[in-house]
Structure 1
């Protein structure tokens, strides 16, 4: 059995109400608890308590971050969450500073994480089509992958000593949604990445 913290990082807009991200969070909760795992859900748009979030991160064996990709990154409200919660965790709850020492101020940056052995999974929703990635002929990403684009998020979790599970993504969710296929892929992805307890 694993303890799994599910973070819904969606920020409400009239043109993007968050139904898809909310449904994926609900699906993850139902599937994971049915498989014998313990879950907690945090909805960033509803606010947060910093101390509770630090406890949640320490409690969790796995953090599942469910987020839309807005302007090539996470929503601003989740960035604020990170600024507040992750900064508060610098004193040992998430990491012991940045890993450097006075004796070696140029070495080991980012090596101070205290969450070794824990894992994280990024689950993303994109307006971009899947074909925009991993293709050097496409203008914007120039052959880059989804994980290349989300490199800063990977580095945030790595800063805490965590290891990545394979990323999941729903593509083209506004102009050409394939919701049922996405749900089927999501079920299979969770089963493969987070086996039954």
Structure 2
């Protein structure tokens, strides 16, 4: 039986209560349950035990991370979670340091990860889809969604996890298409995670 850790990285604000991210987490939980996965969950904006979170990463075959795009990155509560949990697991449980040795101190940086599973990032963003992948677009200047998420991808790579295709729900505040997002999300989970892992 496959095992998935679902992390809800939403941070509450009065104008962003977390309903959409919560709904996507619920849909992911349902999809994984129906596919026969065991599930553990974490909400980074609530209390958690650091040692238990390290153990969840060791337990999981897949890490599914749901987050709003918050100032061009993840929320501060998820960044705090990474700082605490990944640092606690860095020397021996989740990684063997940064992968370098005293014999080759300039090589293999970032290759000390001990995890062997996959991860998927799912994002809710207020930016429209058209803001990405267009060199003429005035703000992002042609970068794509995963370029914007590069620090997160590198964090997961550091610990040995392999990426699955990222999901984006676009324009969720100014021009939402929530039902369409839900349909795309459910199909994305099925085709890009459940059928591949």
* TM category, shorter: over 0.9
Provide the C-alpha distance between the structure 1 equivalents of 2:82 and 2:111, rounded to a whole number of angstroms.
Answer: 18
Moved over 4 A (4+): none
Equivalences, count: 196
1:164 aligns with 2:163: yes
Aligned to 2:143: 144
Question: Once the 2 structures are TM-superposed, how far is the Cα of residue 126 of structure 1 from its aligned partner?
Answer: 0.3
Question: What is the 5 A alignment of 1:5-44?
Answer: 5-44=5-44
SS in 2 for 1:152: helix
Question: What is the 5 A alignment of 1:113-124?
Answer: 113-116=113-116, 118-124=117-123
Deviations 1:40-96 (A, max 9, x none): 111111121110000000000000000001000000111000000000111121110
SS in 1 for 2:194: coil
Question: Once the 2 structures are TM-superposed, how far is the Cα of residue 104 of structure 1 from its aligned partner?
Answer: 1.0
Gaps of 5+ in 1: none
Aligned to 2:72: 72
Aligned to 1:132: 131
Aligned to 2:185: 186
RMSD (Å) for aligned C-alpha atoms: 1.0
Aligned to 1:106: 106
SS in 1 for 2:175: coil
Question: Once the 2 structures are TM-superposed, how far is the Cα of residue 195 of structure 1 from its aligned partner?
Answer: 2.5
